[in-house]
Amino acid sequence: MASRPRTKWLGLCPIAGSGYNYVVLRTIMNWPENIERGGVVIAIIVVTILIAWIVDALFRRFIMRSTRVMNNDPTSYLFLRHAIRALIYILGLSLAIYSLPSLRGIANSLVAGAGILAVAVGFASQHALSNVISGLFIVIFKPYRVNDRLRVRDTLHGIVEDITLRHTVIRDFENRRIIIPNAVISDEVIINSDFGNDNICKWLELTITHQSDLSVAKTILAEEAVKHPLQIDTRKPEDIAAGKPEVLVRVVALDERGTRLRAYIWAKDAADAFAMSCDLLEAIKKRFDEAGITLTYLPDIFKQVNL
């Protein structure tokens, strides 16, 4: 009884061995065809990468020229560049897979079940798809654009550098990159200093002691602001005819620390407004020291509004 299974097993060995030898022999005989198919796949991958690189370089050059020469908004072009590059990679990978007969059947099955696959992929990548859709809405409705100055959550602020399919890249003023998913920034309340009219009204607030000469302090504030090269005159002809001052200085508060003055100074954009405020701080401090006007401490002396 114990010898029969062994005899049966030994009888099958030549058959198994011949089948294995057949597979090996077939592989050896078809090696030129296998090398050719592998070369086709490698060639498709290389060509895909090359085409994506060329398209990306052409788009980059076109974006730079249209932005600098024609003064166009690069936001839509950047988003389209990322979308086309992703599409090229997807098509190239699909063609490489379909070129292999061993994977062609799997590809046909996936195409046949595309509806079920789309539902499965949709459930598995809801967050990723929400970022893509949010990025598309950002490009269409433009709550912000590339090169706009944003403030998010009162702690993150900088210049929009890029809007990709997944996220928005913001470069802060220390040259660090802030990466925010498009779905997240779409739900945030943001402050855009360059939305619509780029002109910025800078509030320069200083508090002087009650014993200081108020008229002299207001005159110094107005004179230093008017002569600054980054200050712009936003008055209309009728305002000039009515004698409206180029820089308005008001007393906005009286408290135990002193008299608070506020100068309303206009600049072309947020960058000029910041540079101008730094220069005016130094110039006004020197003029106040010469005139014997004493400043008192007041936190948050600068405030900025977009009008």
Q: Is the pLDDT of residue 283 over 60?
A: yes
Looking at 157, 175, 192, the residue that finishes a domain is 192
pLDDT in tens, 202-256: 999 999 999 999 999 999 999 999 999 999 999 999 989 998 999 999 999 998 8
Q: Name, in order, each residue with C-beta under 8 angstroms of 6's C-beta and a sequence gap of 6 or more.
A: none
102 shares a domain with 163: no
Is position 179 within any domain?
Answer: yes
Return the ∠ at Cα 225 (arms to 224 and 229), rounded to 5°: 100
Q: Is the pLDDT of residue 14 over 50?
A: no
Lowest mean pLDDT among 38-42, 169-173, 264-268: 38-42
Structure pTM?
0.57
In this prediction, residues 51-76 reach a mean pLDDT of 72
In this prediction, residues 68-87 reach a mean pLDDT of 73
261 shares a domain with 188: no
Is position 10 within any domain?
Answer: no
Lowest mean pLDDT among 31-45, 185-199, 210-224, 293-307: 293-307
Is position 231 within any domain?
Answer: yes
Number of domains in the chain: 3
What pLDDT score does 114 carry? 55
CB–CB of 254/221 below 8 Å?
no
Please state the φ and ψ torsions of residue 246, each to the nearest 5 degrees: -65, -40
Q: Is the pLDDT of residue 32 over 70?
A: no
What is the band of 99 on the pLDDT scale with cuts at 50, 70, 90?
confident
288 shares a domain with 226: yes
In this prediction, residues 81-110 reach a mean pLDDT of 76
What pLDDT score does 181 carry? 93
Looking at 66, 96, 112, the residue that finishes a domain is 112
Is position 64 within any domain?
Answer: yes
In this prediction, residues 115-142 reach a mean pLDDT of 74
Lowest mean pLDDT among 27-31, 63-67, 227-231: 27-31
179 forms beta bridges with 169
What pLDDT score does 96 carry? 79
- CB burial string 4-23: b at 16+ within 10 A, e below: eeeeeeeeeeeeeeeeeeee
The CATH number covering residue 229 comes to: 3.30.70.100
Is position 122 within any domain?
Answer: no
Is position 48 within any domain?
Answer: yes
260 shares a domain with 163: no
Residue in this structure with the two tokens 């020291």, named with its chain if needed: 289
Is position 82 within any domain?
Answer: yes
152 shares a domain with 188: yes
Between 193 and 126, where is the model more confident? 193
Question: What is the number of H-type helices and E-type strands within the chain?
Answer: 10, 9
191 three-class SS: strand
Domain that holds residue 151: 145-192
What is the band of 20 on the pLDDT scale with cuts at 50, 70, 90?
very low
What is the band of 105 on the pLDDT scale with cuts at 50, 70, 90?
low
